[in-house]
Amino acid sequence: MVTLIIAIVGILILFLLSRAFGLDRNVIFVDEGAALDTLHHRHPDFTPDSSLLSTDRHSALFEDSSHGALGLVLALGDDAVTRIIQKGGIRRITALQDNNQVNGLKLYLDDVTCPEVKLYMSDYMRQAWLSRLQNYLGHDL
């Protein structure tokens, strides 16, 4: 019991300290090129013909329409995660809303290890990407 209490107190102190030290930062992609470099580091053969950098610069989406694949780059703390999404890789797409205002898209992926992605974008880009992303929706939804 004493060990459990020590563990709980230790976790709390370490969490607060790390926040105080500013270690809760998220990667910011300077531009689409930086996000693409991250994607290419893991998937060097991916050749996109269109790209989108989220307005918060924490995520980016690329499409290789000739091969029917999406490339996703997602900030995860001070690291990044990449995924190649094929047809059926997206379960659901919803509008992303802050203060009752639509400002992007939220993708629910068919991926246990990366279940959802927020992509902030302008209304114009949202319309353009929404129609493209429909092609990657899973058959079950």
Partner 1 sequence: MTLADPVELATPFFALMVMLEMFFARRSSSIRYETRDMTASLLMGFGNLIIGALLAGFIISTYQAIYTVRLFDLTHAWWMFLLAFFAEDFAYYWFHRISHERRWFWASHVVHHSSQHYNLSTALRQTWTGTLTFAFIFWLPLVWLGIPPEIVLFFSGISLVYQFWIHTEAIDRLGPLEWVLNTPSHHRVHHATNPRYLDANYAGVLIIWDRFFGSFVAECKEDPPEYGIIKRLGTFNPLRIAFHEWAEMVRDVRHAQNHREVFHYIFGAPGWSPDGSRKTAAQLKAEWRAEQISAQKTSST
List of residues contacting partner 1 (CB under 8 A): 3-4, 6-8, 10-11, 13-15, 17-19, 21, 23-25, 74, 76-79, 81-83, 111-115, 117
Q: Which is nearer to partner 1, 25 or 139 (CB)?
A: 25
Instruction: Confirm if 46 and 40 have CB atoms less than 8 A apart.
Output: yes
Both tokens of 14, joined, read: 């370490």
Q: Which is nearer to partner 1, 100 or 112 (CB)?
A: 112
The least distance separating partner 1 from the CB of residue 78, rounded to whole angstroms, comes to 5
**Count of beta carbons in the 10 Å neighbourhood of residue 39:** 22
Q: Which is nearer to partner 1, 106 or 128 (CB)?
A: 106
The least distance separating partner 1 from the CB of residue 76, rounded to whole angstroms, comes to 6
The least distance separating partner 1 from the CB of residue 124, rounded to whole angstroms, comes to 27
Q: Which is nearer to partner 1, 53 or 74 (CB)?
A: 74
Instruction: Confirm if 27 and 79 have CB atoms less than 8 A apart.
Output: yes
The string of DSSP codes covering 77-122 is TTEEEEEEE-TT-EEEEEEEEETTEEEEEEEEES-TTS-EEEEE--
